[in-house]
């Protein structure tokens, strides 16, 4: 049974975060007693801006339903959809129900649970640039506070393109909906206000700084939750427990024992109708800036003093600060960019990227990127981190693979046994979440024959419960006020500081050529050569 944690929201505005230890506010502990405490959110209203879009149907509606099904949302919890489309409450409820029945891990919706959920679903129609729409939204939310007892607690989810963020947050501010405590329009009402923003957060360092500045003009950093759904995945959260909770692994998590680290984020799909968006984005912006660098930071961080949100994010920031931006010469040597041409993936024919009707026929946008990075720190000096991501690859998989150094002596060489393969620890983020350890063992029988074997742990087989979807975890955390798994403003900007020189060099034509690879392959041969120069090879998940 879920345990409710009472939170007494402050009556005055929280101080703006300075990221300094003495400015840290007490945070819920997200990684205690097996990783997470089961907690129920406070009564609140979640306003989804852009509520009729694909994200709401595929991710948000199923996540909220499953959170309610698991007992993590109180009866007072209310959803307000805010969008331009003219719908009534019943039509919006039907939209959410369709998403739950199609995409939820618990489907179809149970009638009794859905009926309870539906009572707290409402719709507000309006244009995002219309001040009157926000005035009416404020009245709508005040009425919900009175009728449903949501106590003035509001979570705004901006499920819209980032270009609309400034307009929406400024309109919220003008309508008195952005502040909390005694700065609210009604003055006497207590409660909190938070905002969730989706990626991509900017397209380069300058645009990210501009977005951060525009958000900071309206919200405190403590109110802003930048979502990266990879950080909500069970295996990523388990990284901290795996490392810091097991005396077997923490002592060897450093340059003395680890030879190299590979982070792979592979997709089998091509652009599939998203060519217009993707051609202006590319693999580096779409995946590496957020997902891959965040996975690297979670993997490589030092243990925080305590598992409070700011301690955790401070340690991640130290990792990113240790990654030195590349010169143009470094980009040509340590990066590979590719673009897929026609081929076969999982038995399906995939046309060339440039043949997509919304992609320029001479497009130079990368659908594959591979990088060699280093972290200048005492723990990781000299250990290469290889990152790769791509579309139209053979397998859909996200994993962190750790290759350990070889044993110091080829002890079995005189017995005719060849060099034993290095030990590998593979942390699978998706699909089939789990952890695999590869090591050498003697084959039963006479003589000495050594074979590589796997010790394989999978969440689905080891625990009698389904792992929650990443959005379930992250939405609940935002309602509780735990930003541990969300990205801080300085993390976002530092990631762009690392990647901007790569993008600039590629754009200028002095960062290496664009390579082509057949759909269904593991990328261009140049990506293999990137590791072969170091005497290493990519792992084939």
- Can you give the pLDDT at residue 18? 40
- The 10s digit of each residue's pLDDT in 134-181 is 999 999 999 999 999 999 999 999 999 888 999 999 999 999 998 754
- Can you give the pLDDT at residue 154? 96
- Can you give the pLDDT at residue 247? 86
User: Which residue did the predictor score with more confidence, 455 or 46?
Assistant: 46
Nearest to 125 by CA among 176, 87, 177: 87
pTM of the model: 0.86
Residue 330 has pLDDT above 70, yes or no: yes
CA geometry: angle 194, 198, 200, nearest 5 deg: 140
Residue 446 has pLDDT above 70, yes or no: no
- Can you give the pLDDT at residue 122? 97
DSSP letter assigned to residue 358: T
Six token digits for residue 307 = 């598992």
Low-confidence winner among 52-61, 98-107, 225-234, 383-392 (lowest mean pLDDT): 225-234
Mean pLDDT, to the nearest integer, of 175-203? 73
Give yes or no for a contact between 369 and 335, defined as CB atoms under 8 angstroms apart: yes
Residue 31 has pLDDT above 50, yes or no: no
- Can you give the pLDDT at residue 2? 37
**Sorting pLDDT into bands at 50, 70 and 90, what band is 423?**
confident
- Can you give the pLDDT at residue 277? 84
Mean pLDDT, to the nearest integer, of 53-69? 94
Query: What's the fold here for domain 231-532?
Result: Dihydrodipicolinate Reductase; domain 2 (3.30.360)
- Can you give the pLDDT at residue 413? 58
CATH class of 3-198: alpha beta
Nearest to 154 by CA among 116, 180, 128: 180
291 noted as active-site residue: yes
Coil, helix or strand at residue 459: helix
Low-confidence winner among 321-330, 340-349, 467-476, 499-508 (lowest mean pLDDT): 467-476
- The 10s digit of each residue's pLDDT in 215-238 is 999 999 999 999 988 888 777 877
Mean pLDDT, to the nearest integer, of 446-457? 70
Give the number of residues written for the chain: 541
- The 10s digit of each residue's pLDDT in 303-325 is 988 878 899 999 999 999 999 89
Nearest to 530 by CA among 156, 260, 168, 216: 260
Element (H, E) at 401: strand 397-404
Mean pLDDT, to the nearest integer, of 78-95? 96
Cα distances (Å, whole numbers) of residue 327 to 250, 297, 324, 494: 33, 22, 9, 16
Mean pLDDT, to the nearest integer, of 56-84? 95
Which one of the listed residues 140, 291, 308, 515 is annotated catalytic? 291
Query: How far is 305 from 168, CA to CA, in rounded Å?
Result: 37
Query: How far is 471 from 475, CA to CA, in rounded Å?
Result: 6
Residue 188 has pLDDT above 70, yes or no: no
Residue 449 has pLDDT above 70, yes or no: no
Residue 244 has pLDDT above 50, yes or no: yes
**Sorting pLDDT into bands at 50, 70 and 90, what band is 416?**
low
- Can you give the pLDDT at residue 447? 62
- The 10s digit of each residue's pLDDT in 365-384 is 999 999 999 999 999 999 99
Q: Where are the domains of the chain?
A: 3-198, 231-532
Average pLDDT, the chain: 86
- Can you give the pLDDT at residue 13? 37
- Can you give the pLDDT at residue 28? 41
Low-confidence winner among 12-16, 77-81, 347-351, 436-440 (lowest mean pLDDT): 12-16
């Amino acid at each position: 049974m879920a345990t409710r944690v009472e939170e007494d929201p402050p009556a005055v505005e929280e101080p703006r975060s300075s990221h300094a230890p003495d400015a840290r506010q007490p945070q819920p502990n997200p990684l205690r007693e097996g990783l997470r405490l089961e907690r129920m959110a406070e009564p609140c209203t979640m306003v989804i801006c852009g509520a009729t879009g694909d994200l709401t149907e595929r991710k948000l509606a199923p996540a909220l339903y499953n959170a309610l099904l698991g007992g993590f949302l109180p009866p007072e919890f209310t959803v307000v959809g805010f969008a331009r489309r003219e719908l009534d409450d019943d039509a919006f409820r039907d939209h959410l129900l369709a998403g739950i029945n199609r995409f939820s891990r618990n489907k179809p919706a149970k009638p009794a649970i859905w009926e309870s959920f539906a009572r707290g679903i409402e719709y507000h129609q309006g244009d995002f640039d219309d001040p009157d729409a926000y005035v009416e939204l404020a009245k709508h939310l005040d009425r919900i506070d009175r009728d449903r007892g949501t106590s003035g607690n509001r979570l705004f989810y901006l499920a819209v393109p980032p270009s609309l963020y400034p307009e929406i947050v400024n309109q919220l501010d003008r309508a008195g909906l952005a502040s909390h405590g005694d700065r609210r329009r009604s003055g006497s009402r207590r409660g909190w206000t938070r905002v969730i923003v989706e990626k991509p957060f900017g397209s380069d360092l300058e645009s990210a700084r501009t977005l951060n500045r525009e958000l900071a003009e309206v919200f405190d950093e403590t109110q802003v939750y930048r979502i990266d759904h990879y950080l909500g995945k069970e295996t990523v959260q388990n990284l901290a427990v795996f490392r810091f909770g097991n005396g077997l692994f923490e002592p060897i998590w450093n340059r003395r024992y680890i030879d190299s680290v590979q982070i792979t984020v592979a997709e089998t799909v091509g652009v599939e109708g998203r060519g217009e968006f993707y051609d202006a984005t590319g693999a580096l912006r779409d995946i590496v800036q957020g997902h891959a660098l965040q996975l690297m930071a979670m993997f490589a961080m030092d243990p925080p003093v305590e598992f409070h949100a700011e301690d955790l994010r401070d340690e991640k920031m130290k990792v990113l600060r240790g990654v030195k931006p590349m010169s143009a010469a470094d980009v040509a040597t340590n990066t590979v960019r590719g673009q897929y041409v026609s081929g076969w993936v999982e038995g399906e024919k995939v046309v060339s990227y440039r043949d997509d009707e919304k992609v320029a026929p001479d497009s130079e946008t990368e659908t594959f990127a591979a990088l060699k990075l280093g972290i200048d720190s005492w723990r990781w000096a000299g250990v290469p981190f290889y990152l790769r991501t791509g579309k139209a690859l053979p397998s859909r998989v996200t994993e962190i693979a750790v290759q350990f150094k070889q044993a110091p002596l080829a002890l079995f060489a005189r017995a005719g046994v060849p060099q034993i393969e290095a030990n590998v620890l593979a942390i699978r983020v998706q699909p089939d979440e789990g952890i695999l350890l590869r090591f050498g063992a003697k084959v039963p029988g006479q003589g000495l024959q050594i074979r590589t074997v796997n010790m394989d742990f999978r969440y689905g087989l080891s625990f009698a419960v389904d792992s929650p979807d990443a959005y379930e975890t992250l939405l609940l955390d935002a309602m509780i006020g735990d930003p541990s798994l969300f990205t801080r403003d300085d993390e976002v900007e530092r990631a762009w500081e690392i990647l901007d020189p790569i993008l600039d060099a590629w754009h200028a034509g002095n960062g290496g050529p664009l390579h082509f690879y057949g759909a269904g392959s593991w990328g261009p041969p140049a990506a293999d050569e990137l590791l072969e120069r170091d005497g290493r090879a990519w792992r084939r998940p």
